[in-house]
Amino acid sequence: MALVVQKFGGTSVADAVKIKAAAAKAIARHAAGDKVVVVVSAMGHQTDILVDLAKQITDRPSAREMDMLLSTGEQVSVALFAMAIQAAGHKAVSLTGAQIGIRTDSTHTKARIRSISTDHVNSLLDSGAIVIAAGFQGIDQNGNITTLGRGGSDTTAVALAAVLGADVCEIYTDVDGVYTTDPRVLPEARRLPSISYDEMLELASLGAGVMHSRSIEFAKKFGVKVLVRSSFKDVPGTLILAADEATARAASGVALAKDEARITLENVPDQPGSSHALFSELAASGIAVDMIVQNVGQGGRADISFTVPEDDLAEALERAEAVAKQIGAEGVSHDHNVAKVSVVGVGMARAEGVAGRMFTALAHEKINVHMITTSEIKISALVDRKDGPAAVKAVHKAFGLDVAAAEPAHAAAGGPLTKSSPLEVVRRLEGMEDLAIEDCLLDSSQALVTFTDLPDTPGVAAQVFEELGKAGLNVDMIVQSHPRNGLAEISFTVPAASRDAATAAAKKIAAARGAKVADVPHVAKLSITGVGIRSHAGVADRLFKPLADEGINIDLVSTSEVRLNVIVAADHGQKSLAVLRKAFGV
Ligand code: ADP
Ligand code: ASP
Ligand code: MG
């Protein structure tokens, strides 16, 4: 007898007919002898309708009352779902988040799960009932109803699967699996038979709306097997699982975050502590920042740029302006008309010419790239919002994602988390959804090369990384800062042994464009690894503060959901490692 969690999204329960059809799936599984827990979203666009109603009352509804309101959507659908099962002659009990005992923190509208009690659900399952759980909601320690953030029913489902020890968590939705990019945006997208936790986590967090990224944090931390499949068609779907990185693809998918905003603090005095002041202020309001970029700057001053979801722009700007005054920055600029296109692949670090391929594809479409950041498993580029869909199309094609690949690329590998410390990390967590830090690593084998004064025209990054690729250079971290006065800055790291070749190639490119090149023969790269690093606001800050306190300056930063990297001077490597190990308790 297996235990299965089945989750049905809004479209899958949009009307009575669809609810009955979904209920039939749960009944069939139960009749086959399995224990079944169903997690249901609000019907159709009900959550949007409720959000809109609130807006008709006030511009600034309190977050607590929003949760009170939005949670009703799921309460309606679970009751109807249970009735549908009962009407077919089977036992079913519907439960709200509070009735199950899904305890969350008190961050209304984006609460994180702290614990889930299993007693009630298990006794109902033992009694032969199908349990219908309301998605997206919980209760805080003071008895207030909370919600987990839009799309959060996925997270309820995977979290329940984790605590109940379910054999599989099936996500029934209106697409028949995870595609190489949103098939509604790009018809040539292809369904992936399987995808690794890390890739799905990264894609979801970078804009692929098919899964709530926090659900994949649970899946990875607790080793939950997730199957995404269609509510309406009986086709295989996509399995999300721990994957053997050795057989991984260079690119698995492309994501578009179409509503991004960029904020730049201009001419910040370049001293340890500026970044900390900024990012601690943002973290305090729970804003998750991405694409953190600092340029080298002139006269002891530098610009710090970062992106936030456009919804967070007003608050982020207010806070950034306050900090700018405090730390002596000369001004704050912003742009809300931007989108972030990212390519994700676990095998990227070992593949050649990945950056060149991406930027050449964008240059071909005459799409200007405003900012670039990378990590081991993704490259993100900030572009004008109007260029977003064309950018996705170009990058998707450049990586051959429109052509069927030989599958399976993902051989299933061992348990959750890493090879080193499977559930050790999770055991130390106070709340189930707390940030899980695994390790802090030091790599002293890289050199840093920086272009300054590069004219900001479409194709600059393409030319740089094409040339470096031709020279056979394996580039690791890449950062392109937000251009100022028509001039951009690109920094990248290469293995120290390739430094001379990289610098020579860079000088050649720079000469042709009136740019300058500087290099640092040896730098130290520090990496914090874990799960949910970017989406937990404040991780970057936990890294900036202890380094700033030691007077250690950070040259480059890059983030992903599974890793946060910084480059510091080589002679600060060991000290930084010790400081960070202490700060992160590893
Ligand atoms: P549900 O209501 O079932 O939770 P969602 O609307 O949240 O469904 O998610 C499904 C949608 O995600 C699809 O209709 C599709 O447009 C979108 N989507 C975005 N990126 C992807 C992707 N890479 N693969 C599949 N679907 C995607
Ligand atoms: N009903 C909620 C929403 O629309 C949660 C979900 O569907 O996952 O965001
Ligand atoms: Mg969804």
Mean pLDDT, 10 residues at a time, the chain of 586 residues: 97 98 98 98 98 96 97 98 98 98 96 96 98 98 98 98 97 97 96 95 96 96 96 94 80 97 92 86 88 81 92 94 94 95 93 91 94 94 97 97 70 51 66 92 95 87 89 90 88 93 92 91 94 87 89 88 93 96 92
Most informative mutation of 182, 228, 378 for ligand 1 (most atoms within 8 A of CB): 182
State pTM to two decimals. 0.94
Based on its alpha-carbon atoms, the radius of gyration of the chain, rounded to whole angstroms, reads 24
What is the separation of C-alpha 462 from the centre of its chain, rounded to a whole number of angstroms?
25
Q: How far apart are the C-alpha atoms of 411 and 194, rounded to whole Å?
A: 9
pLDDT of 421: 40
569: closest CA among 463, 411, 461, 444? 444
- 3-state class (DSSP) for residue 284: helix
Ligand having the closest approach to the CA of 135: 2
Q: Which helix (H) or strand (E) holds 398?
A: helix 388-398
393 class by beta-carbon count within 10 Å (0-12 exposed, 13-18 middle, 19+ buried): buried
- Taken in order of first residue, the domains within the chain and their CATH numbers are 3-247+411-428 (3.40.1160.10), 255-398+438-584 (3.30.2130.10)
Q: How far apart are the C-alpha atoms of 539 and 563, rounded to whole Å?
A: 10
pLDDT of 411: 62
The two tokens of residue 563 are 């890793």
pLDDT of 406: 56
Q: 11 C-alpha vs ligand 3 centroid, how far in Å?
A: 9
Q: How far apart are the C-alpha atoms of 565 and 375, rounded to whole Å?
A: 8
Ligand having the closest approach to the CA of 40: 2
472 class by beta-carbon count within 10 Å (0-12 exposed, 13-18 middle, 19+ buried): exposed
Ligand having the closest approach to the CA of 152: 2
Q: Which residue has its alpha carbon closest to ligand 1 atom 1?
A: 9
Q: Measured on CA atoms in the order 173, 175, 181, 182, is the torsion positive or negative?
A: negative
Q: Which residue has its alpha carbon closest to ligand 2 atom 6?
A: 151
Cβ within 8 Å of residue 456, ≥6 positions away: 368, 483, 486, 487, 488
Q: How far apart are the C-alpha atoms of 435 and 204, rounded to whole Å?
A: 17
Q: How far apart are the C-alpha atoms of 262 and 154, rounded to whole Å?
A: 29
Give me the torsion for CA of 566, 297, 496, 473, rounded to 10°: 100
pLDDT of 420: 37
Most informative mutation of 150, 173, 214, 231 for ligand 2 (most atoms within 8 A of CB): 150
Pocket residues: Cβ below 6 A from ligand 2: 9-10, 41-42, 47, 73, 135-136, 150-153
176: closest CA among 239, 256, 254? 239
